[in-house]
């Protein structure tokens, strides 16, 4: 197992180096001068320009600039945001829990609805219920989620008035941000009404972000179940008179789970992309909205480091998924 | 009469096509998707003839007019008018040109680059393979929409730059697919015999091997087509794609946000157009996979 993990780690090292090169190159590929780009619309005095040029090391040869960049990153220095003048790393990890909370809730919805829907569809293969579920799943898979979010706001917030339009929690609630997760912090502060408010804010964005993963998981579960239901061991289990629930739950589903878990893992990168749109629509103060704001404010230091941090996090999650996959499926470890 | 080799080749190709249609048409959803898609192409081609009004014409006296079935007083605006009094239906009809154009061009670009890179990697292996595939890994490490956004920030907002960015983000999928297919085909006997017969590298890659990887490639192209439309619409929505007043569907939604409480029709119809288009293409994709993937066939 340790060898498997080390092997996987060795494989991603070149990719990580590539990612640092890509994010290093980003600020230098911007049209025009990088310092002028970093200064933003306000412009800059010539004296200050020279100071910054030396400070950021733009007078050095390009490879030396790159090694300085990587050196800084390894020491946890991801630069200072141009718009807020705070360290980018601090900014990032202040907002990160909001995105994680949203993504976890979205995934929870996707898994809790997607897997049963897929199993049900597979058992009732060819029935009108199967066709309806799969039709809905394909519609969800084809959904422009930014529009889906707007529709849900129109209906649930505007027409019915059930849910708030934006943000993470109603403004009247104040409590310490211990973990950064609203649901946990509100409970730690002993404020159940704040907890309810946080849930009400969370529900629509989670549905929107969870829609595509839900569709993918339902489709994948169905096809994995269909494959397994045709296997000999399932027929044997049926033949020896086990109840249908036992056959499906114990014999079929446990084996169908392997490809489904992989699919769930692969949704992480997709969730990050979806978070950009979802957070923008619901003014959710997370990483996705922060990236969009940074791009529109031309805060290129934040964009550069955000890009790098997000890619590293996605890679780390994928690595964890790979390892978990090897734990539940020993065949993977052997190769 | 029908026994010359040319005729035989033609009739076997015809038979293959018939077999393909047989498996494709079993999937009723796929046939429905195909009908919608053909309809969309017709709408796009004949847009100026079908659309009741020019897409940029503003009727300042009928700003945010609801559709007639929702209390609007102007029956000539079937789907109502937008925030500056333009006919929404006419804009949607013209917008179909953008979405389909984006889909075709992006997929073509991504496919050409991806196929060439995948062929090179799978055929030559060694350092060529390692170098190409590492670059693909790096591209895939970034969430696609985020990478497209950053590329547009570098290139500058606009439809053309958005298309370049999306093509770049989508092409690694083609490269990976073709590489895997080439590696499994390369050791087959027909390739060896072609090599013995004196075929050069280029001929082996493009004429001998590539046609046999076509099935999965077509399925991937369909998937990428719908992805391209969705991503272009998302970029337009975020203000980084096609710029107003272009009647691109995503761009139409960008300003519609302000009217979610007051004028639902401005928000609803452009998104519905995107959904129907993408759904039709995905339905076709499902049918193509059933018809072209030999593993799933007859199971």
Is B271 within 8 Å of A144 when comparing Cβ atoms? yes
Q: What one-character-per-residue DSSP string does A86-124 give?
A: SBHHHHHHHHHHHHHHHHHHHHHHHHHHHHHHHHHHHHT
Q: Assess contact for B250 and B274: CB atoms under 8 A.
A: yes
Paired tokens of A55: 């400070």
A37 pLDDT exceeds 70? Answer: no
pLDDT at position B295, please?
Answer: 55
Same domain, A120 and A70: no
The 8-class DSSP code of residue A60 comes to S
Q: Assess contact for B133 and B121: CB atoms under 8 A.
A: yes
For A145, the closest chain B residue by CA position comes to B234
Q: Assess contact for B22 and B290: CB atoms under 8 A.
A: no
pLDDT digit string (tens) for A74-108? 998 888 887 788 899 999 999 999 999 999 999 99
B267 near A CB under 8 A: yes
User: Lowest-confidence range among A1-10, A136-145, B261-270?
Assistant: A1-10
Same domain, A73 and A123: no
| Low-confidence residues of chain B: pLDDT under 70 | 1-6, 8-9, 293-299
- What is the residue range of A4's domain? 1-83+297-335
A26 pLDDT exceeds 90? Answer: no
Same domain, A96 and A230: yes
Q: Assess contact for B219 and B293: CB atoms under 8 A.
A: yes
Q: What is the value of ipTM here, to two decimals?
A: 0.87
For range A178-192, the mean pLDDT:
82
Same domain, A72 and A103: no
Task: Supply the mean pLDDT for chain A.
Answer: 85
Of A142, A295, A296, the CB nearest to B278: A142
- Residue A50 banded pLDDT, cuts 50, 70, 90: confident
B32 near A CB under 8 A: no
Which of the pair, A256 or A291, is modelled with greater confidence?
A291
Share of chain A above pLDDT 90, in %: 33
Is A154 within 8 Å of B137 when comparing Cβ atoms? no
The most confident of the ranges A56-60, A163-167, A208-212, B289-293 is A208-212
pLDDT digit string (tens) for B218-263? 888 998 999 999 999 999 999 888 998 889 999 999 888 788 778 8
Which of the pair, B46 or A248, is modelled with greater confidence?
B46
Same domain, A49 and A92: no
pTM for the complete prediction?
A: 0.89
Same domain, A286 and A323: no
Is A15 within 8 Å of B141 when comparing Cβ atoms? yes
Instruction: Round to whole Å and give the CA distance between A89 and A305.
Output: 8
pLDDT at position A332, please?
Answer: 64
B288 near A CB under 8 A: no
A190 pLDDT exceeds 90? Answer: no
Q: Which residues of A touch B134 (CB under 8 A)?
A: 14-15, 18
pLDDT at position B5, please?
Answer: 67
pLDDT at position B82, please?
Answer: 85
Same domain, A130 and A252: yes
Q: How far is A139 from chain B (nearest CA, A)?
A: 6
Q: Which residues of B touch A296 (CB under 8 A)?
A: 239
The 8-class DSSP code of residue B87 comes to B
3-state per-residue secondary structure call for chain B: CCCCHHHHHHHHHHHHHHHHHHHHHHCHHHHHHHHHHHHHHHHHHCHHHHCCCCCCCECHHHCCCCCHHHCCCCCCCCCCECCCCEEHHHHHHHHHHHHHHHHHHHHHHHHHHHHHHHHHHHHHCHHHHHHHHHHHHHHHHCCHHHHHHHHHHHHCCCHHHHHHHHHHHHHHHHHHHHHHHHHHHHCCHHHHHHHHCCCCHHHHHHHHHHHHHHHHHHHHHHHHHHHHHHHHHHHHHCCCCCCCCCCCHHHHHHHHHHHCCCCHHHHHHHHHHHHHHHHHHHHHHHHHHHHHCCCCCCC
Q: How far is B196 from chain A (nearest CA, A)?
A: 33
Same domain, A52 and A1: yes
Same domain, A191 and A260: yes
Indicate the number of domains in chain A: 2
pLDDT at position B3, please?
Answer: 60
Is A292 within 8 Å of B271 when comparing Cβ atoms? no
User: Lowest-confidence range among A208-212, A245-249, B120-124, B202-206?
Assistant: A245-249
Residue B233's closest CA among A280, A149, A145, A138? A145
Same domain, A92 and A202: yes
pLDDT at position A34, please?
Answer: 67
B45 near A CB under 8 A: no
Bond preceding residue B245 cis, omega within 30 of 0: yes
Residue B229's closest CA among B118, B136, B221, B114? B221
B138 near A CB under 8 A: yes
pLDDT at position B62, please?
Answer: 82
- Residue A308 banded pLDDT, cuts 50, 70, 90: very high
Same domain, A55 and A106: no
- Residue A112 banded pLDDT, cuts 50, 70, 90: very high
Of A138, A146, A151, the CB nearest to B279: A138
pLDDT at position A7, please?
Answer: 84
Instruction: Round to whole Å and give the CA distance between A161 and B139.
Output: 42
Look up the CATH number of the domain holding residue A189.
Answer: 1.10.3720.10
Same domain, A264 and A335: no
pLDDT at position A323, please?
Answer: 83
């Amino acid at each position: 197992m340790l060898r498997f993990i080390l092997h996987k780690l060795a494989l991603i090292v070149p990719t990580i180096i590539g990612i640092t090169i890509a994010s290093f190159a980003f600020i230098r590929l911007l049209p025009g001068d990088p310092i002028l780009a970093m200064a933003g619309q306000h412009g800059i005095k010539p004296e200050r320009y020279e100071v910054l040029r030396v400070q950021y090391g733009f007078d050095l040869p390009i490879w030396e600039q790159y090694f300085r960049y990587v050196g800084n990153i390894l020491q946890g220095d991801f630069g200072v945001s141009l718009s807020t003048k705070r360290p980018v790393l601090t900014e990032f990890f202040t907002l990160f829990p909001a995105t994680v909370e949203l993504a976890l809730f979205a995934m929870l919805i996707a898994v809790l609805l997607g897997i049963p829907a897929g199993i049900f569809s597979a058992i009732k293969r060819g029935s009108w219920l199967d066709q309806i579920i799969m039709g809905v799943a394909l519609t969800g898979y084809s959904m422009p989620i930014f529009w889906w979010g707007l529709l849900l706001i129109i209906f649930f917030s505007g027409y019915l008035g059930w849910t708030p339009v934006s943000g993470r929690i109603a403004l009247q609630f104040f409590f310490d941000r211990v973990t950064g997760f609203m649901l946990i912090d509100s409970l730690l502060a002993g404020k159940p009404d704040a907890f309810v408010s946080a849930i009400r804010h969370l529900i629509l964005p989670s549905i929107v972000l969870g829609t595509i993963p839900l569709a993918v998981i339902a489709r994948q579960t169905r096809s994995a179940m269909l494959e397994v239901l045709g296997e000999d061991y399932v027929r044997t289990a049926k033949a020896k008179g086990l109840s249908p629930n036992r056959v499906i739950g114990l014999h079929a589903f446990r084996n169908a789970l392997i490809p489904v878990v992989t699919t769930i893992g692969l949704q992480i990168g997709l969730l990050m992309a979806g978070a950009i749109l979802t957070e923008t629509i619901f003014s959710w103060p997370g990483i996705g909205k922060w990236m969009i704001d940074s791009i529109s404010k031309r805060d290129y230091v934040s964009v550069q480091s955000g890009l790098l941090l997000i890619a590293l996090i996605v890679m780390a999650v994928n690595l964890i998924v790979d390892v978990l996959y090897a734990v539940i499926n020993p065949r993977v470890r052997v190769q | 009469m029908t026994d010359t080799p040319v005729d035989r080749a033609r009739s076997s190709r015809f038979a293959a096509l018939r077999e393909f249609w047989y498996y494709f048409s079993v999937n009723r959803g796929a046939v429905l998707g195909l009908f919608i898609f053909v309809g969309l192409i017709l709408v796009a081609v004949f847009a100026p003839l079908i659309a009741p009004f020019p897409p940029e014409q503003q009727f300042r006296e009928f700003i945010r007019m609801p559709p007639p079935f929702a209390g609007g007083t102007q029956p000539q605006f079937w789907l109502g008018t937008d925030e500056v009094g333009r006919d929404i239906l006419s804009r949607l009809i013209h917008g179909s040109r953008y979405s389909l154009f984006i889909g075709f061009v992006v997929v073509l670009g991504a496919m050409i680059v991806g196929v060439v890179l995948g062929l090179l990697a799978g055929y030559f292996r060694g350092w060529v393979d390692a170098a190409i595939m590492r670059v693909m890994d790096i591209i895939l490490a970034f969430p696609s929409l985020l990478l497209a956004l950053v590329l547009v920030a570098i290139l500058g907002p606009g439809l053309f730059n958005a298309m370049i960015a999306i093509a770049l983000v989508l092409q690694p999928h083609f490269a990976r697919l073709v590489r895997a297919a080439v590696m499994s085909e390369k050791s087959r006997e027909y390739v060896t015999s072609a090599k013995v017969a004196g075929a050069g590298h280029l001929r082996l890659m493009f004429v001998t091997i590539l046609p046999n990887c076509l099935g999965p490639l077509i399925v991937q192209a369909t998937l990428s087509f719908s992805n391209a439309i969705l991503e272009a619409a998302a970029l337009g929505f975020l203000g980084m794609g096609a710029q107003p007043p272009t009647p691109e569907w995503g761009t139409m939604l960008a300003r519609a946000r302000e009217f979610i409480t007051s004028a639902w029709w401005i928000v609803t119809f452009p998104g519905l157009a995107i959904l129907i288009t993408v759904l039709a293409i995905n339905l076709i994709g499902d049918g193509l996979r059933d018809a072209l993937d030999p593993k799933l066939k007859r199971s």
